């Protein structure tokens, strides 16, 4: 029995290369979960095979900028001439339906979300060590050495922001990290501040 009927917004964040996407996919493969992935909105054109509302919500720049002015994003950013953001209304709709909404995002975006969603659960995913992070970035084979060095320097500054999160989860092994995150979600649902009102209401029912 789940006393807290509203879903949780779970913000999974951390430095580049820490394995956010891999851990999130493992989380969604776990049995008996009620998770949904937060779909971002973008102004970039769809790539072959991408589906509107599944991969992204595709909109024109005018629509995106108007939504910024109306405060309809939990966070947004511009990258290489295109805009990306998390639509607040879509997230709220899923939460009202009792779904656990997982938002996989960079540190800067997570701190934007924190300002608006005080009851969200913020999880900072970290590597077992700096050497492990460097090896992961190197083994991806997508970045030049100088780019890897820049990512490592950025990661060092992001590690200092860990105190702004509710939990720190070490990604020493993907399935272990996913298990820890699922345990956090279950524990959060049992928090008194999330359940007390519904429990008192239940006690008053005949």
pLDDT tens track for 103-155: 999 999 999 999 999 899 999 999 999 898 988 898 887 788 898 999 899 99
- Rounded to 5°, the CA angle 127-150-83 comes to 90
pLDDT for 3 equals: 63
Domain ranges of the chain: 9-38+99-204
> pLDDT band for position 206 (50/70/90)?
low
pLDDT for 200 equals: 77
pLDDT for 45 equals: 93
Q: Phi first, then psi: what are they for 34, rounded to 5°?
A: -125, 50
- Residue 131, number of CB atoms within 10 A of its CB: 9
> pLDDT band for position 5 (50/70/90)?
confident
The span from the CA of 166 to the CA of 153, in Å, is: 23
- Residue 79, number of CB atoms within 10 A of its CB: 9
Tokens of 146: 């100088």
When pLDDT is averaged across residues 17-46 and rounded to a whole number, the result is: 92
Q: Which CATH class is domain 9-38+99-204?
A: alpha beta
Instruction: Decide: helix, strand or coil at residue 49.
Output: coil
Whether the predicted pLDDT of 189 surpasses 70: yes
Q: Please give the share of the chain, as a percent, with pLDDT higher than 90.
A: 71
Instruction: Please enumerate, as own/partner, the contacts of 156-160 that have beta carbons within 8 Å and a separation of 24 or more.
Output: 156/130, 158/14, 158/15, 158/107, 159/15, 159/126
Per-residue burial over 143-155, b = 16 or more CB atoms within 10 Å of its CB, e = otherwise: eeeeebeebbeeb
- Residue 111, number of CB atoms within 10 A of its CB: 17
- DSSP for 127-188? -S-HHHHHHHHHHH--S-HHHHHHHHHHHHHHHTTGGGSSEEEE-SSHHHHHHHHHHHHHHH
pLDDT for 6 equals: 85
Q: Which residues contact 33 (CB under 8 A, 6 or more apart)?
A: 27, 100, 182
Whether the predicted pLDDT of 184 surpasses 70: yes
Whether the predicted pLDDT of 199 surpasses 90: no
């Amino acid at each position: 029995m789940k006393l807290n009927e509203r879903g949780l917004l779970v913000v999974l964040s951390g430095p580049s290369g820490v394995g956010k996407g891999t851990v999130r996919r493992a989380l969604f493969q776990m049995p008996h979960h009620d998770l949904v992935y937060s779909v971002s909105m973008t102004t970039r054109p769809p790539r072959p095979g991408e589906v509107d509302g599944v991969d992204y919500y595709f909109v024109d720049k005018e629509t995106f900028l108007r939504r910024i002015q109306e405060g309809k994003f939990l966070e947004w950013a511009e990258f290489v001439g295109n805009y990306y953001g998390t639509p607040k209304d879509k997230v709220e709709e899923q939460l009202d339906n009792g779904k656990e909404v997982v938002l996989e995002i960079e540190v800067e975006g997570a701190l934007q979300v924190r300002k608006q969603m005080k009851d969200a659960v913020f999880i900072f995913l970290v590597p077992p060590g700096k050497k492990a992070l460097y090896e992961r970035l190197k083994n991806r084979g997508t970045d030049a050495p100088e780019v890897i060095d820049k990512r490592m320097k950025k990661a060092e500054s992001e590690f200092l922001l860990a105190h702004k999160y509710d939990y720190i989860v070490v990604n020493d092994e993907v399935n272990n990290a996913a298990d820890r995150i699922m345990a956090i979600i279950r524990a959060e649902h049992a928090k008194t501040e999330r359940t007390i009102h519904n429990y008192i209401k239940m006690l008053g029912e005949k």
